[in-house]
Amino acid sequence: MKDYYETLGVARDATQDEIKKAFRQLALKYHPDRNQGNKASEEKFKEINEAYSCLGDAGKRSQYDATGTCGTEAFGAGFAGAGFGGFGEVFEDIFGEFFGATFGRRGPRPERGQDLRYDVEIDLAEAAQGKKLSIKVPRSVSCAECHGTGSATGATSACPDCRGTGQVRYQQGFFSVARTCGKCRGTGRTIERPCERCRGAGQVRVERDLTINIPAGVEDGMRFRVSGEGNAGSYGGPPGDLYVIVGIKEHPGFRRDGDDIISEEPVSYAQAALGVDLEINTLWGPEKLHVPPGTQPGGIFRLKGKGMPRMGKKSKGDHIVRVKVSIPVKLSDKQRELLEELAKLSGEPFLSKSSLKDKLRGMFASGS
């Protein structure tokens, strides 16, 4: 599995801004226009491009953290995928580095809110039957006091750094390079009196109560998207999504294998030889199981339709029972007598109680 964090040289808990900054620095260093004819730099550029295409998007990053993949492994072919995770903006920055170009942007563009991840844990029975969960999700929403403007009065003034243009120009040789103003973040305006509730951010942190329906048959590690329940967007952008990751606890008596449930059932030597009717616990309650005479250790029996539901279907897997023959460690005199008689009738050699005593005497005699 590719480690995209290692490719970009960032920690796994790095912020999206840190990931973006690391990518931009590496992209400038290994860009083909700066390393013409250098195949190693070209391959490195593709690798960091692929890594950022995944980690630069909060939703894909959540999937990568959960599963190790995000569906972008085959990317890495230049900037054809610009537009997600802020990739297009970084592309414009890099393009400007080489050509001193400005793309005519005035004011901030709408930004989609960050996706959120919420982990839940359920037991195997809940996974089989489905479960409705009530959760509390902390998220950022537009401030109701200032309607997301960040200003207590709604009043703003022209940014002193960019003089209201939203961009700051620098001269590099013969080229004039425009950059988004860092003070006003490209809005061209500064807040005269910040909103007391959000402190000028335009957003506040709240807990939202949500009801999540976990479908019957869910598998460990599955994720479900709840659209629009992520953090609020900026400058009129849409909110992100919420991704619910489901974990399933281990069951003390059952093991899941796809849609089947596997359990072991102990039987005695006599029960395996003579046959027995057992009551088996399943996810759906007790079930009768007929174990025929002559059943061998490790024998397998199926209880049809008593396994896990198949998601989106009406059918279920099976409950598979493996018979485990228990051999008694200690025998009463009567049990030994009967077993010796059985061995004699079957013509099988065995170690009798008297021969065992003789053997022990011989061991002590040779030791003296």
Sequence-ordered list of residues with C-beta below 8 angstroms from that of 323, at least 6 positions apart, any chain: 264, 265, 267, 272, 291, 295, 296, 297, 298, 299, 300, 301
Supply the pTM of this predicted model. 0.58
CB 137 within 8 A of CB 229: yes
Name the nearest CA neighbour of 165 among 201, 190, 147.
190
More confident residue, 156 or 230: 230
Q: Does residue 123 sit in helix, strand or coil?
A: coil
Structure confidence at residue 99 (pLDDT):
47
Domains (ranges, CATH) in the chain? 1-99 (1.10.287.110), 255-326 (2.60.260.20), 333-367 (no CATH)
C-alpha 54, offset from chain centre: 14
Q: How far, in Å, CA of 57 to CA of 63, rounded? A: 10
Q: How far, in Å, CA of 89 to CA of 20, rounded? A: 10
Q: How far, in Å, CA of 68 to CA of 71, rounded? A: 10
Name the nearest CA neighbour of 298 among 262, 274, 331.
262
Mean pLDDT score across all residues of the chain = 82
What does the pLDDT look like over 167-213, one tens digit per residue? Answer: 887 765 555 677 888 878 777 778 888 898 998 888 999 999 999 99
Q: Is the pLDDT of residue 79 over 50?
A: no
Q: How far, in Å, CA of 131 to CA of 117, rounded? A: 19
Structure confidence at residue 175 (pLDDT):
57
Structure confidence at residue 135 (pLDDT):
94
More confident residue, 154 or 60: 60
CB 127 within 8 A of CB 259: no
Name the nearest CA neighbour of 143 among 240, 16, 231.
231
What does the pLDDT look like over 128-172, one tens digit per residue? Answer: 999 999 999 999 999 988 888 888 887 778 888 888 888 887 765
Structure confidence at residue 154 (pLDDT):
74
Q: How confident is the model at residue 73 (pLDDT cuts 50, 70, 90)?
A: very low
More confident residue, 36 or 355: 36
Structure confidence at residue 331 (pLDDT):
83
Name the nearest CA neighbour of 151 among 82, 202, 89, 224.
202
Q: What is the mean pLDDT of residues 292-311?
A: 95
Q: How far, in Å, CA of 107 to CA of 315, rounded? A: 55
Structure confidence at residue 120 (pLDDT):
95
Q: Which helix or strand (DSSP H or E) is residue 273 part of?
A: helix 269-274
Q: What is the mean pLDDT of residues 257-285?
A: 94
Q: How far, in Å, CA of 268 to CA of 262, rounded? A: 20
Q: Is the pLDDT of residue 361 over 80?
A: no
Name the nearest CA neighbour of 115 among 245, 291, 292.
245
Q: What is the mean pLDDT of residues 235-252?
A: 92
Residue with tokens 């920055």: 93
Q: Is the pLDDT of residue 76 over 50?
A: no
Q: How confident is the model at residue 90 (pLDDT cuts 50, 70, 90)?
A: low
Q: Is the pLDDT of residue 225 over 90?
A: yes
What does the pLDDT look like over 91-107, one tens digit per residue? Answer: 555 555 454 444 444 55
